[in-house]
Structure 1
């Protein structure tokens, strides 16, 4: 077996930069300059076309991190994004009332962009493959599963460094004792191995293992910032797609990066904190009236403070308007508040029915404890209890908790199925987008309106 080399360690930020993607952006920028200089596209529309080209090509994942640096494989996608950008700008020019003469100029600009850029892109891909082979510019990879598929993948990585992966070990709780492995079998958990060896990619190769440990491995790799590639079941029948990589004849599904690592996540946090600040100002009279009603019904304290578990199992104090009369026994950490609870008075019932009791949580959003949209936070006692019920319950703590979430808009509030709630929360994390947040907010508003009309 090939031992892991001593220099296997994290490369740091510079080592994780996608050099090929940077070169592709520079090539496109240079092609745009040539287009502007050599064609008759009006200056304003040249700028619009340039922005459209870069934006659409970025959204079309032309600048993505990839294993296979193949110009021919990427050419249809590259030409398609160029054509879409040209069509979009042409429609915009038509809507702006430009004369038909501008369209041949725009077409000439798009053609010039492709004619100049594509040969250089071919050279960039060839240069990238050469660098990977010559300078070992490869991500260190751990293969989960030491069966036939995992062994084949590790051997391909060793024989073909141009794919940019170098295996440093296998993890398999029940390896086949008679199989000779191309790299060492690691006798440690995945998180420890990733940190010790400076691993950047985790490849999950199916074996006799059930799915739950593999899902656990994928979540762990995500939380540690690793690229996660999965060999699909029945891979011989699997078609190529936008999230499919190729390692010789093996298709690998590239799992999306953790939401908190994406640029759009910072847009989400900025927008949500801004909305929370605005809502606290606008709704302050409503909060004051609700607080006065709580004071008259059950006295002080008006604000109910409770410890909840947030992202990465960090604890924070959540704020709510108190809707339950105080008793001599504090069992709030292990007891659900159910419908018909004798401790809930008329004011408390109204606050709960309309969710007005949760308005102080806008302060938690402003402080950064929570988001507007995310998995609902639970009390520490329930987290321990639910973790024993559902083995992947912990995975919902990969992102900040929220005022509302996907589980809640599907009717999973209070004393409902923990497994279903966890699955909805983990689905939200795996498929997060700004639009999904908007959809959840709209569904929440619709649900609140329906509740008030009952």
Structure 2
């Protein structure tokens, strides 16, 4: 079983971390020894005796930040972030201790630059060490070693989804031993995993003590048995997971909040509904819009002149779109089409070689110059620099009935550019894929994600082959 192996691995991991901390400190000392005579004010014994405190302190912080908790499917970025947090707090504690105890213990001569170099080296070497361990474990798990043996209870869409993901990612090291289910015949097989018995066989299997995990994947119709199954699993001491069968009506990653001991599942997590996130994004929008207006003002002035000279109609075209909380607003664009009646344009897509598009209009649509007046929409608060693109009311009413979860996009401000657009879903492309990308953005928003999209827009967002 994996439990004993995991204990040995954790002990080895702690020893390797201690070694990395020591090596980082040693290298930092040698760099300072050969480059700074001030370090000789204290003996080497004084410097290295500090490791008696530093090494245990850092290892305790690593434990606190869950760096020794098994994470077969966790991302590298979260691990790197936790390493950085632990090291930062550790160095701050060490620096504070030197400052407070400096005069009494003659530690005011202790090299602060050595501490800084040690901090940098520890971050770099620790990330390298963890990356090596992660790659090594992924390699041996792919080959069938270091496996975690799992039994599924209940055949359902959740069970199928779990099996599919495990099979697609052998580096996770999950070995699904079978499924217990009361409605599928023994021997029924899905993606290489067989039904090996009924749920009544659970007690007998638990007594064999050959499992590392139980994953409860009951169909939602069988949740009446959930409490009894959980009780049996917990009596055996086997780690138990519950994989709910609700992905058909809760299609995303929900998050749970605690209501005085009562877990409350929020169907959809929208980070921008949190006030501090909304404020930060709005500040970036204001400064970004002002920057865009200033930088692109020459382009906008020339475009305005060309539109006026070639067609003689209005320079700016204000079209009604649906924005935050389903509220309509006027979105500004440089006019790229001949003037037409509102009743004629409100429900028509632009098509290739559309006769309504002017010569100048075709160019500014292709290069997205026609969208630049939307910087003023961003400044006024109707739009954001980044977000789902807004649509006309006619199409909103149409898509809300045809496209699942379409209206979720209106929980955030619409954007001048977006995740769907930089991935090529713009103009005459799949509405469903566009919404899928919009939902991913809404649920995974960070300020860094916004900057990534703005950066990608420079290379992917301006020139649009689907703009007619």
> Using CA pairs below 8 Å that are at least 6 residues apart, which structure has the higher relative contact order?
1
Q: What TM-score, normalized to structure 1?
A: 0.49
TM-score, normalised on structure 2? 0.48
